[in-house]
Structure 1
Amino acid sequence: MARNGKVAVVGAGFYGSTTALRLAEYDIFEEVVITDIIEGKPEGIALDMNQSRPIEGFETKVTGQTTGLAGEGYEVLSGSDIVVITAGLPRKPGMSRMDLIETNAKIVRQVSENVAKHAPNAVVIVVSNPLDEMTALTQIATEFPKNRVLGQAGMLDTARFSYFVAEKLGVPVGAVKTLTLGSHGDTMVPVPSKCTVEVGGTPKPLTELLAPADVDALVDRTRNGGAEVVALLKTGSAYYAPSAAAAQMARAVAEDSGAVMPVCAWVDGEYGIEGVYLGVLAELGRGGVRKVVETALTDSELASLKEAAAAVRAKQADVQNL
């Protein structure tokens, strides 16, 4: 099997380490790198993952490297085609994603500057919260073309929506197709008009299968899906579903697949929205976002998307000075 390229994951917490393992087990990369500021942690995780290779049957090499606040160790990113930034503090119960903005902005800026220095040709996938704002900050700090910086949000939110619908209707998750746009937060825009459920081999609109109140309840649960996990865990935030989403995005970039996925991408004219990172459908390839893919929305869905854009734009302007 041909293995090509190098992908790096910055941050060896639950999210970062799970993402790195998923990427390694794809067995499509020559090397997966994982870094962290905790001395020895990434090296230990990499050693453990490498020892799983004979069992799981993958040949991708995993390299761990401790990094420092002055940039020590970041040279390990050299030659990376893709960098996934997971660095930052996770939420605690009762916290919103926005509560993390100042703390995580300092971390993400420092990481982004080192990515630009050592991996100047990489596509960067941001997963640090608050997601939309940290994606904008990463582009500012790296000065990369906007198509090469994107965020992971819609993949996760859509997966949550699909799962909740499947659970409610008692159908396989594979029978459900949903979509979420907008922000990764309070102005998330689940799109019921694009939601279908396969019944007897025929896709049927979600709105034909559930009452409006039930659809609204599923939308609200999706919007608060991360907080629900945080409240249950009490000492961290979600990482299994988020890491699956980030890894799939990285794979689409690495394989130049042209896959269309809901991601946080730069929007500049699509849907009548100008100059903002926002959750939309986008076609992904080796250069990152090939194009934003517009989909038909109802008037209320489009209004909600524009409302999300306005809210996110204001916050993204704030991060320039953080």
Structure 2
Amino acid sequence: MFTTRQISSIAKRAFSTSTSSNAAKVAVLGAAGGIGQPLSLLLKQSSLISHLSLYDIVNTPGVAADLSHINSDSKVSGHIPDKNGLKEALTGCDVVVIPAGVPRKPGMTRDDLFNTNASIVRDLAKACAEHCPKAHILVIANPVNSTVPIVAEVFKKAGVFDPKRLFGVTTLDVVRASRFVSEVKKVSTEDAKITVIGGHSGVTIVPLLSQSGHSFTEEEVKALTHRIQFGGDEVVKAKNGTGSATLSMAFAGARFTNSLLEATVAGKKNIVEPTFVKSDVFAKEGVEYFATNVELGPNGVEKIHPVGKVNAYEQGLIDAAVPELKSNIAKGKAFIKA
């Protein structure tokens, strides 16, 4: 059992950064939900956030009041649709994180979520394009492979699209990969850094275990790959229909948000995170968006890293991922065009 002091120390090591004279206004859209609440709690601890702006269709003022009692310096405000709440939440934002949407249930794929979540993301993207067009937009709402293109198309229609400022948050796949490999190889998660490329659903998730510096048996590679690709199903099943991966996703979302703030606000160099962005890596195959390691900078995407050397098994995974991604992306774009 951790003491309060130990918990505080762990949280500070995970999410605090060096104090900066600058700080950002960060909005969380869907802040009262299963991901939004723990995500907001983690972001409240960042010294790089001056104003944490929370929006949801219900309960957000209560969530904001609760978080506002935490003794970190950021202001917290809670907004609902009444009285131009979404406009107030977004105006002046530097970063917008979007976990809004319905969660997966047993038997559902991320694609099954599309019809409901696509409409939610579209409407939130329209508001962002109007009220904070230069903000960095971090999309967590599933299916990310389709919702990121939805945001892009909305911003294009509004004439404010900047591909360097739009991110699909795929960090959970890397977090899972690190944890799962650390368990198998009996090493710390720091010694189990795994590059994961592609997208953020099923076969589009491609862990590059060969680049980890560890050796694996064929059976280990197949088992780990499947677990990393379908780790979300493991959580949905374990929660017995009551929810999906909310806490681990909140952790991953906070990690990526904090990394972006370190690069854009604190001016730190060599901040690299995996993320689903507009990319030329597989553009020739018709895949406009792709996740690889991305170096973050003052304007968002600084450098998109190449895939690097892969083995035959991983090439097979990429070959399976590319057509699926192409279809997912096309579905998102078609939703807006329709």
- TM-score, with structure 2 as normaliser: 0.84
State the 1:140 CA deviation.
0.9
Equivalent position to 1:14, from 34, 39, 49: 34
Match of 1:48 in 2: 66
Match of 2:248 in 1: 241
Match of 2:75 in 1: 61
Checking the alignment, whether the CA contact within 8 Å between 1:260 and 1:282 is kept in structure 2 is yes
How far apart are the structure 2 equivalents of 1:186 and 1:156? Answer: 13
State the 1:146 CA deviation.
1.6
CA change 1:206–1:61 in 2 (3 A) is farther
How far apart are the structure 2 equivalents of 1:91 and 1:64? Answer: 26
**RMSD of aligned residue pairs (Cα, Å):** 2.0
Indicate whether 1:290 and 2:302 are aligned: yes
State the 1:218 CA deviation.
1.1
State the 1:274 CA deviation.
4.8
Checking the alignment, whether the CA contact within 8 Å between 2:287 and 2:322 is kept in structure 1 is no
Equivalent position to 1:276, from 277, 288, 304: 288
Counterpart residue type for residue 164 of structure 1: F
Checking the alignment, whether the CA contact within 8 Å between 1:34 and 1:63 is kept in structure 2 is yes
Q: Which moved more, 1:84-93 or 1:13-22?
A: 13-22
Equivalent position to 2:325, from 308, 312, 315: 312
Checking the alignment, whether the CA contact within 8 Å between 1:20 and 1:33 is kept in structure 2 is no
Equivalent position to 2:191, from 146, 152, 175: 175
Checking the alignment, whether the CA contact within 8 Å between 2:24 and 2:49 is kept in structure 1 is yes
How far apart are the structure 1 equivalents of 2:287 and 2:220? Answer: 35
Equivalent position to 2:235, from 225, 229, 239: 229
How far apart are the structure 2 equivalents of 1:191 and 1:125? Answer: 24
Match of 1:74 in 2: 87
Q: Which moved more, 1:294-303 or 1:128-137?
A: 294-303
CA change 1:66–1:111 in 2 (3 A) is same
Q: How much identity, in percent, do the aligned residues show?
A: 31
Secondary structure of residue in 2 paired with 1:294: coil
Segments of 5+ residues of structure 1 without an aligned counterpart are 197-204
| 1:141-189 deviation per Cα after TM superposition (whole angstroms, max 9, x unaligned) | 1222122111011x21111111111122333222212121112112211
Runs of 4 or more above 6 Å deviation:
none
Secondary structure of residue in 2 paired with 1:105: helix
How far apart are the structure 1 equivalents of 2:100 and 2:38? Answer: 13
State the 1:299 CA deviation.
5.0
Secondary structure of residue in 1 paired with 2:79: strand
Question: Number of paired residues?
Answer: 303
State the 1:45 CA deviation.
0.4
Checking the alignment, whether the CA contact within 8 Å between 2:295 and 2:301 is kept in structure 1 is yes
Counterpart residue type for residue 44 of structure 1: G
Secondary structure of residue in 1 paired with 2:141: coil
How far apart are the structure 1 equivalents of 2:29 and 2:54? Answer: 6
Counterpart residue type for residue 200 of structure 2: H
- TM-score, with structure 1 as normaliser: 0.88
CA change 1:271–1:163 in 2 (3 A) is farther
How far apart are the structure 1 equivalents of 2:47 and 2:68? Answer: 12
